[in-house]
Structures are given as structure tokens and as C-alpha cells.
Amino acid sequence: MKIFMIGTQRSGSNLLRLMVNQAPDIAAPHPPHILERFAPLLPIYGDLSVEGNFCRLLDDVVHMVEVNPVPWGVSFDRADIRRRCRDNSLVAIFGSVMDRMAEAQGKPDWMCKSLANVHFLPEIERYFGSEARYLYLYRDGRDVCLSFMKAVVGEKTAFHIGRQWNVEQQLALKCGERVPGAQYFSLSYETLTGNPEPALRKLCEWLGIAFRAEMLDFHNSDEAGRTASSGKMWENVRKPVMADNSRKWLKGMTQDQIIDFESVAGESLTALGYPLEFVGKTCPARSYDAAAVAALDAENKRLKGAAREELSPEDAAARKPQEDLLARIRSRTAQPA
């Protein structure tokens, strides 16, 4: 069983993966975001049917995993990973790496919590077929927005965050319409944190595994400790479930920011049952001409740069090996097609 968590970051995915990782049959590591990071780089490698090109990609992917900020503690043999690949594709390398990781942990199944996999569903569905399970984790997008505004990663204006969040929710919802019902399960962050045991019992029933009390004790696990010590962004995983961590956007976002978010993401907020606060009630949805978008792009870039400057030396050091690897890859000349 290959479980793909889909949706948008800052929705409780680390919380849920640590809970699921407590199951004896499912390995759920901190992800190096293989598909998200390497898909844009594929033109550099050229034709993957050429063995040298494919093996170069494979080596870089494995290297990325080996320098993940939260260590996996798994050794990889490149030749073994190559033998596991059923075709010459990025998703095949990803699957082989995940299979090896689960095998090293003595677990038959795995879960990838890289929510950006929602952008690669056609390829995932093609390669994994009926083995795949899609776990859609969602949260009120305005709380997601507020979280991104405070984080060192991601977009920074309500317009940009809302636009991305809306696209990703629509992709996840369409996945639920497309794949067989037994392969798809949706769960809200608010349900998970408000009533964790019943929510986990339903999830375990869908996965075909037994609920274990240790899932609620995730914060005391070794994996939670490794994750929390690897970056400020993940320090909350050392705490028990925070039942009061919702609707913070009401105080944390300005009215202008909320209207921006609802203007570009109202479709998904409504589809998921989150009432709009302003748009359609006290004001219409905003429209954005080219000049407005350009101004928002400039502000988003400025805020992202400021967030990067606030990164602690420890966090920067943990991220540097992966960033250096990606920089080296980008500096290469593209291989002939």
C-alpha cells in the first residue's frame, strides 16, 4: 500500500504523518519532496530512456534523500534502487526510494506526506495504479494563509497563498471524483485536532489497520524528536494535539488580507464548508488587473526575502546541503533530448 497525502502544506501534515508513523505497518518519513523538486529539473537530464541520463537523475534523487534535514537513517545502494524501478521515470525512482526506506524500517507499507504530490497525480496514478491510496488533508485556507505568512517557506501575500491553495484543493477534490472510492479518504485538520481519536479510528479503518493508542502519543516518539530538532518550523510536533489551533485568522489577518484570500479562493472555501467572512456578504470578490498583480508579485518577493533573512543559523545549516545540491544541478547544461 502506497499512501499519498495530498493538499497544501501548513495543514497539519507533520502531525498526521507522525501519528500514522506509529502504526507498525506504515513508514511515514519526513519527505525530501522528490517530485516537487525534481520535476522542474527534468529537462536538464534529457531523454531518460538513455541509461546514463536516468542513472544521473537517480543518483541526484538519492543524494537529496541522504541529506534530508530530518535524517532517514537508511543506506541506499544505487544499483538496488535502479533494479526496483519498473520504468525510466522520476516517479519510479521516488517509489523505489520509498520502498527501500519502508523495507529498512521493517514495514510493508509507506506514506509520503509531501502534499505537493497533488500536482503529479496523473503520473502517480499511472505508475502505482490500484496500490495507491490518496489521503486528502485539508484545513481552513485562511489559517493555512496565516501559517505561511509566519513560516520561512512558501508564498507570503494572501493573494498568492490563496491562489495556490485554491488550485491545490481543486486538484485534490477532482482526484476524489476520479479514483475508486476505496482509494480516497478526506480529513479536515479541524476534525483531526478537535476529535483526534475518532478521526484516527476512521482513518485506520480506511487503511485496514488497527488503531493504536500510541498514535495519540506521537509527540513522544523518536521521529517527533528528530523532526523538532531539525528546524523551528517543526518544533510544535513535540507538543500534544492543539485543539484550539483553528480560526486564528480572525485575529491574525487584516480585513484586507482576508478579502484578498476569499477573492481568489472562495470557490474552495465554499466547497469545503468554510463560510466566507466578507466576500459575498459585505463586499464583492476583487478583480486583479496586470498592474495589481505586478505590485502583489513585488510585495510577495520582498516578503519572501525578508522571511529568508530571519532563518536561524541552525535552520539554514540544516537546509544548506539540499539547497547546494539543487544549485549544482541547475548549473548543469541540459542533456541532448
Q: Is 233 a residue whose pLDDT tops 70?
A: no
**What pLDDT is recorded for position 113?**
96
Q: Is 237 a residue whose pLDDT tops 90?
A: no
Tell if the pTM clears 0.75, that is, is over it: yes
- For residue 201 the three cell numbers come to 479510528
**What pLDDT is recorded for position 334?**
77
Q: Which of 118-122, 148-152, 196-200 has the lowest mean pLDDT?
A: 148-152
Rounded to 5 degrees, φ, ψ at 226 are -65, -40
Phi-psi domain of 26 (left: phi exceeds 0; alpha: psi -120 through 50; beta: other):
beta
Q: Is 286 a residue whose pLDDT tops 80?
A: yes
Q: Is 240 a residue whose pLDDT tops 90?
A: no
Q: Label the pairing between strands 109-112 and 2-7.
A: parallel
Q: Which of 71-80, 93-102, 182-191, 225-234 has the lowest mean pLDDT?
A: 225-234
Cβ 58 vs Cβ 42: under 8 Å:
no
| Residue pLDDT, tens place only, 9-54 | 999 999 999 999 999 999 999 999 999 999 999 999 999 999 999 9
**What pLDDT is recorded for position 317?**
87
Positive or negative torsion for Cα 255, 236, 245, 275: positive
Of 150, 143, 160, residue with least CA distance to 269: 143
- Residue 194 pLDDT grade (very low, low, confident, very high; cuts 50, 70, 90): very high
Element (H, E) at 299: helix 290-309
Average pLDDT, the chain: 95
| Residue pLDDT, tens place only, 84-101 | 999 999 999 999 999 999
Cβ 212 vs Cβ 202: under 8 Å:
no
Element (H, E) at 193: helix 189-194
Choice between 107 and 233, residue whose per-residue pLDDT is larger:
107
- For residue 49 the three cell numbers come to 530512456
SS3 content of the chain, % helix, strand, coil (to 5): 60, 10, 30
- Residue 111 pLDDT grade (very low, low, confident, very high; cuts 50, 70, 90): very high
CA distance 258 to 279: 9
Q: Which of 11-20, 129-138, 237-246 has the lowest mean pLDDT?
A: 237-246
Q: Is 231 a residue whose pLDDT tops 70?
A: no
* Burial class of 104 by CB neighbour count within 10 A (0 to 12, 13 to 18, 19+): middle
Q: Is 337 a residue whose pLDDT tops 70?
A: no
Torsion angle of C-alpha atoms 78, 83, 88, 90, degrees rounded to 10? -50
